Homo-oligomer: A and B are copies of this chain.
Amino acid sequence: MTPRHQPSCQVLNVRDNLMMIDCGEGAQLAVRRMKLKLMRLNHIFISHLHGDHCFGLPGLVSTMALLNRTNSLTIHTFKDGAELFGQMLDYFCRERPFEVRFNIIDTHKRIIHEDDAMTVSTFPLVHRVPAVGFVFREKPKLRHIIGEEIQRLNIPHYAMNSLRQGEDWIAPDGTVIPNEQLTTPADPAISYAYCSDTKFSKRVIKYVEGVDWLYHEATYEESLRLKAHKRYHSTALEAATVARDAGVKQLIIGHFSKRYLDEIPLLEEALSVFPNTRLANEGQIIDLNQLEF
């Protein structure tokens, strides 16, 4: 934590379900300042057990308890984290009116969460302690019904679901109406990959290949590449290299060293390799549907 930057915490909003990625100290305050609905936050994913990525957990869960939450909360973390934070929560939030489940993760590539809308999978990062990145993938979405055509052809309501899934309509008289006449294409399913903290690694490129959005840490400038490697962090240029070689559409860089009072040089280094780069910043909201490319 530095006077300039908050510790790591991001919140993904997928169809009004919130998922938190890392939970540094002060996360609850940031979430409340941004007026995010804690009641809709049901999953927290912790990338690794360094304080700046998880010390906000006890406070966040305590605040949830004060809000009379009843739906369960799942914290995805390594075994040690489940034990330590489990103890903390059992002591400080004994009387919480909801269940906290720990989903124990490890450093393998695997799907750790799946629901109607998406999957979340882990892949190994390269850091001083066990660390994972996450890929959030929306499942294919449904096609949009063209209301006037449905009315004109008098197609019954029960058929809508199969139409949305791309099936043709077979009228009672056997006529086949092709789906393309009745629907417009579904919105694209978005994918988002999160890589923090990690040393630059070619293996990471493979794991995030083809995602729409990549968040990658960029702690240092290229001139401090040696320091970056020694501390198991990346430079902005390396983050951009991952983005370029993985063929992602947009890159967000963050987790800047406190030595930088101005991150523009980091941005410029990244832009020289990968033009669709932007800086992460406290309180920033990004619409992941707005892919500019």
Contact = CB atoms under 8 A, between A and B. Distances in A.
The range of chain A's interface size is 20 to 34
Contacts of A49: 91-92
Interface of A: 1-3, 7, 25-26, 28-29, 32-33, 49-52, 55-56, 58-59, 62-63, 80, 84, 87-88, 91-93
Contacts of A2: 32
A51 B55 contact: no
Q: Tell me which of A25, A63, A80, A84 has the highest count of chain B C-beta atoms within 10 A of its own C-beta.
A: A25
Contacts of A7: 59
A221 B93 CA distance: 27
A119 to B, nearest CB: 30
Q: Tell me which of A3, A32, A33, A52 has the highest count of chain B C-beta atoms within 10 A of its own C-beta.
A: A3
Contacts of A56: 25
A33 B7 CA distance: 15
Given A25-B26, A55-B62, 9 more contacts: A1-B63, A3-B29, A3-B33, A25-B29, A25-B59, A26-B26, A49-B91, A51-B62, A52-B62
A235 B87 CA distance: 33
B26 A92 contact: no
A84 B80 contact: no
Given A25-B25, A87-B84, A92 B51 contact: yes
